[in-house]
Amino acid sequence: MRVLGIDFGLSRIGVAISDADAGMAFPLKTIHKRTREQVFEEIEAIVRQRGVSAIALGLPLDLEGRHTLSTRQAENFRRELCSRLDLPVHLVDEACTSVQAEAKLREAGVPPRKRKSLLDQQAAVEILETFLNNR
């Protein structure tokens, strides 16, 4: 079972993928949004090419666990994914994933100017790892 992890953003979407046994998560790519249709086409292509059987989508909540505008946008994104793909799309609380991702990139010695381009992918890894560990 291969799982795709997604860190949803309005301009950039981080994508991570698990190994075939859904035991480990790896950064895959950052999708730079030009159009809504282009984003879904890229995700659909990954799902087909990589044999993905489920998606773990980050759900942004505020620090007290309440829904925000970003939460609603991620939920709308999930609805669209569900209507286009015949796959389960699981929502995963993404609290602190960007902070954790930044820390891991810093610990790995990634230079600051390169961190920005990898941050969304690493946040998707954090989301995917949370999902895989909590199954």
All structural domains of the chain: 2-134 (3.30.420.140)
Q: Report the C-alpha dihedral over residues 132, 74, 48, 105, rounded to 10 degrees.
A: -60
Please name which of 56, 59, 55 lies closest in space to residue 67, comparing C-alpha atoms. Answer: 59
| Secondary structure of residue 4 in the 3-state scheme | strand
Mean of the per-residue pLDDT values of the chain: 91
Give the pTM.
0.90
State the sign of the Cα–Cα–Cα–Cα dihedral 90, 93, 98, 104.
Answer: negative
pLDDT for residue 96: 67
Share of the chain above pLDDT 90, in %: 70
The radius of gyration computed from the CA coordinates of the chain, to the nearest angstrom, equals 14
pLDDT for residue 105: 72
Q: Are 57 and 74 in contact (CB under 8 A)?
A: yes
CA distance 25 to 47: 15
pLDDT for residue 62: 81
pLDDT tens, residue by residue, 6-51: 999 999 999 999 999 999 999 999 999 999 999 999 999 999 999 9
Please name which of 119, 71, 78 lies closest in space to residue 95, comparing C-alpha atoms. Answer: 71
